[in-house]
Amino acid sequence: MNRRVDEDTKIVLLQRDFLYEVKTIEEDFKILKPRGFVFFEPILESFLMHSRNLYEFFYVGGNGDKARASHFVKEWIKTPPDEIKKWIIRINQYLSHLSYNRVIEKYKPWDITFIYGHFKSLITEFLSGVPNSYLSPELKILLK
């Protein structure tokens, strides 16, 4: 971080904004999973956008205003597996609506079960390392 962020701000970010990302990806997954490869696009876009947000939170380093998992769990250093890197490239291309690659790739199947499972396990691992004082009851439920 370029500037010092106080503990209260970090707690709000985790208990409100991080929780929102997690809840959204979970709810979107529940809607998309039974549909197979025919997706209602706004829900798919939401799932992919929030997956990308979690990817940046868990894997992307650097300074700036963006919160990172390492701001909460000091020893958090993760390298994304090649398979998830491939999906993130495709997600970024898909979310760029006015691109030719989106036209070409748009209707290929999405392995939402893999993407969801990957982030679900990262969420659990991350929350297991977060100091207890940062965890709200809703975040603690995600550890179960």
Question: pLDDT for 61-72, tens place per residue?
Answer: 766 788 999 999
**pLDDT tens string 11-45:** 999 999 999 999 999 999 999 888 766 566 788 89
Position 70 scores a pLDDT of 93
Assigned domain for 60 exists: yes
In a domain, residue 87? The reply is: yes
Q: Could you tell me if residue 1 is inside a domain?
A: no
The structural domain count of the chain equals 1
**CA atoms of 9 and 14, how far apart (whole Å):** 9
**pLDDT above 70: residue 2:** no
> What global pTM score does this model have?
0.89
Q: What is residue 14's DSSP assignment?
A: I
Q: How far is CA 100 from CA 11, 23, 94, 103, 110, in A?
A: 41, 32, 10, 5, 18
Within-domain flag for 37: yes
CA–CA dist 50, 29 (Å, integer) = 11
Model pLDDT for residues 70-120, shown as the tens digit of each residue: 999 999 999 999 999 999 998 988 887 788 877 777 677 889 999 999 999
Q: Is residue 38 a part of any domain in this protein?
A: yes
Tell me whether residue 2 is in a domain: no
State the pLDDT confidence band at 1, using cuts at 50, 70 and 90.
Answer: very low
CA dihedral for 54, 122, 60, 89, sign (positive or negative): negative
Mean pLDDT within 43-50: 93
In a domain, residue 90? The reply is yes
The whole-angstrom distance between residue 5's C-alpha and the CA centroid of its chain comes to 22
Sign of torsion, CA 79 116 140 62?
positive
Domain assignment of residue 96, yes or no: yes
Rounded Cα distance, 39 and 32, in Å: 6
Domain that holds residue 92: 7-141
